[in-house]
A = this chain, B = another copy of it.
Amino acid sequence: MREDILVREVGLRDGLQLVPEMMPTERKIEWMTRSAAAGVREIEVTSFVPAKIIPQFADADDVAAAALADASFLASVLAVNFKGAVRAFDAGFRKINTLVSASETHSLANVRRTRAEAVDAFRAMIAEREARGLAGEVTIACCVATAFGCTLQGEVPERDVVDLARQVAEAGADEIMIADTVGYADPLRVGRLMRAVAAEIGDLPILAHFHDTRGLGLANVVAAVEAGVRRFDASLGGLGGCPFAPGATGNIDTEDTVYLLETMGFDTGIDLDALLALRTDLEAWLPGQRLGGAVHRAGVPKLPATYPTLVAAE
């Protein structure tokens, strides 16, 4: 019996948010439907932000309706503020993702709030859930963004990340996401920070959100797994980054992450061949985007499912 591990698809949100061409709504729906058919259990399907801020999510209501009509996967949505959360409750989402930034500078730039105000906004979302009688029915996950540093502020003390994780956990978060928003993480700090956060938040699950900006994305996954993390965000084809900033890159890609975790002995529940076929189509849908990843080029090794091993697996 292999241990379950969750790979959550966030390409439809984090991957697409800076893609300038609008992806047709039916394509987005095909992406989520086929991901679910391949075994992806949770998909962040869109973001509830004003279309004038991120035009790619102008169809968020339609995408949300299609996602919530499909019982084959858990649909979640990003709500960066209270208004977005109200939209998510109204739409009927069972899972809402939100965030606070560990960098005060990033928090002010991204959502025009101090970190303390962002935590207050999170408490208001939890209160709204109680007021609607949805406690126990709607899960709210809170991300601590820029957890490994910030392009605006520079360094982000680990203590700040741990303090924020504890505050949102105490406020009622059902899941803590630790995000390397700008691709500064490395395995040493990943292991240390994940352990430090876990020690503060008790039994709450931790999800890791990595970008592959400097090639360390999967090395960071290994470090997070070793620190006990069993939930990961990933984006099909590593989609993401800003087309106007050549240095920016996307999330770790779903297919290489699945391949890695399966080799590590975990059960993602995902059919890698089906995922690779979907990636091929995604690449055709987005001719202007450079996708990442490697396993799609080389394929899965042609080896028996079980290797003869010299010693027992550790």
Residues of A within 8 A of B (CB): 149, 151, 154-155, 157-159, 162, 182-184, 186-189, 191-193, 196, 212-216, 218-219, 221-223, 246-249, 253, 256, 259-260, 263-265, 293-295, 297-304, 307-311, 313-314
Nearest chain-B residue to A238 (Cβ)?
B215
Q: A149-B301, A247-B298 are in contact. Are A188 and B155 (CB under 8 A)?
A: no
CB atoms of A309 and B216 under 8 A apart = no
CB atoms of B187 and A264 under 8 A apart = yes
Collect the chain B residues with CB atoms within 8 Å of residue A219's CB. Answer: 218-219, 221-222, 260
Nearest chain-B residue to A257 (Cβ)?
B215
Q: Closest 3 CB pairs between A and B?
A: A186-B263, A215-B294, A158-B310
CB atoms of B214 and A308 under 8 A apart = no
Cα(A158)–Cα(B306), bound, Å: 13
Given contacts A186-B263, A219-B219, A222-B222, 9 further A-B contacts (CB under 8 A): A149-B303, A192-B310, A214-B294, A214-B301, A215-B256, A215-B294, A246-B297, A247-B297, A249-B294
CB atoms of B303 and A184 under 8 A apart = yes
Collect the chain B residues with CB atoms within 8 Å of residue A149's CB. Answer: 301, 303
Collect the chain B residues with CB atoms within 8 Å of residue A155's CB. Answer: 303-304, 307-308
CB atoms of A309 and B246 under 8 A apart = no
CB atoms of B264 and A188 under 8 A apart = yes
Collect the chain B residues with CB atoms within 8 Å of residue A213's CB. Answer: 294, 297-298
Q: A186-B264, A263-B186, A309-B158 are in contact. Are A314 and B191 (CB under 8 A)?
A: yes
Collect the chain B residues with CB atoms within 8 Å of residue A188's CB. Answer: 263-265, 313
**A249 to nearest B CB, angstroms?**
7
Nearest chain-B residue to A300 (Cβ)?
B214
Collect the chain B residues with CB atoms within 8 Å of residue A302's CB. Answer: 151, 154
CB atoms of B189 and A259 under 8 A apart = no
A-B contact pairs, 26 of them (CB 8 A): A149-B303, A154-B302, A157-B308, A158-B308, A158-B310, A159-B308, A159-B310, A184-B301, A186-B260, A188-B263, A188-B264, A189-B307, A191-B314, A192-B314, A193-B310, A212-B294, A213-B294, A214-B256, A216-B218, A216-B256, A216-B263, A219-B221, A219-B222, A219-B260, A247-B298, A247-B299
CB atoms of A260 and B216 under 8 A apart = yes
Nearest chain-B residue to A221 (Cβ)?
B219
Cα(A256)–Cα(B294), bound, Å: 15
Which of A151, A158, A182, A188 gathers most chain B CB within 10 Å? A188
